[in-house]
Amino acid sequence: MSITEKYGEGKMDIKPIRKKRVYQAIIEQIQQFIRQGQLKPGDKLPSERDLAEKFQVSRTTIKEAIAVMEAIGVLEIRPGVGTFVREIGNHFLDLNYIFGDDDTEIQELMEFRQAIEVEAAYYAAIRGTEDDKRKLTQLFSELEKEVMSGKLPAKSDFSFHMQISSMSQNALFLRIMEFISDKLFKSVTKNAVNTFAGGGDPVRVLQEHRAIYEAILSGDGGKARQAMRYHLESVIARYKGIGI
């Protein structure tokens, strides 16, 4: 059966998108088609123009959805050939889980992160051991590799921030971060998805992390504090910019 047949004659019940966060709804529908076996590994998706017509959205929105699905490993873009479904098993990014918090919860979490992580970065810079710095270097390298290869760097980003809290050598900082680790991971993942969906430039976000990393490695607590504050303020600005 061709992909056109899969989408045609009502066999795939594509619903017009009316939600504010349009690209999320598109991803959810396409992931549902894959779960149900209506789209299989190796299937080629219709063109962006065709998808835009079927979903009744702009081509820009389709590009956002495809960019996120490529980053999380659901789709593969082959230049000059098309976009294809990858072999991914049952591992999907649960957008309902990631985007479930309301705006107030997000704002409160980011304010809390600023209160903890800005100072944790300061102490990490002045207290971190050589072993700590080697671990941070490894985590930053993993983060950089994922960003430059177009992959969603949620896990490496999360680990990077947790390592900084550990480097602070303040047990309360680390315990608090561990206590909110579930919400922290959601926050980091949401920021990464937001960025790939057009809410920011992944390379620019990487540079924010590089500034934190280099300040900590140099032992400059003031610069580390400033770099972390700038990064978290930028995360908030990106959330507001895309409306999530």
Q: List pLDDT tens digits, range 89-102.
A: 655 656 555 555 56
What torsion do the CA atoms of 228, 159, 112, 72 make, to the nearest 10 degrees?
Answer: 100
Residue 124 CB-half CA count within 13 A: 33
Structure tokens at 112: 């809390």
Location of structure tokens 């960003």: 147
Which pLDDT score is estimated for 131? 97
Contact 61, 20 (CB under 8 A): no
Angle (CA) 124-129-135 rounded to 5° is: 85
Low-confidence ranges of the chain (pLDDT < 70): 1-21, 88-103, 199, 241-244
Q: What is the pLDDT of residues 156-185, one digit of tens each?
A: 999 999 999 999 999 999 999 998 888 888
The answer to whether 160 and 209 have CB atoms below 8 angstroms apart is: yes
pLDDT at res. 183 = 84
Q: Give the model's pLDDT for residue 220.
A: 98
| Residue 114 confidence (pLDDT) | 94
Structural domains for the chain: 19-85 (1.10.10.10), 99-241 (1.20.120.530)
Query: How many Å apart are CA 119 and CA 176, to the nearest integer?
Result: 13
pLDDT value, residue 36: 85
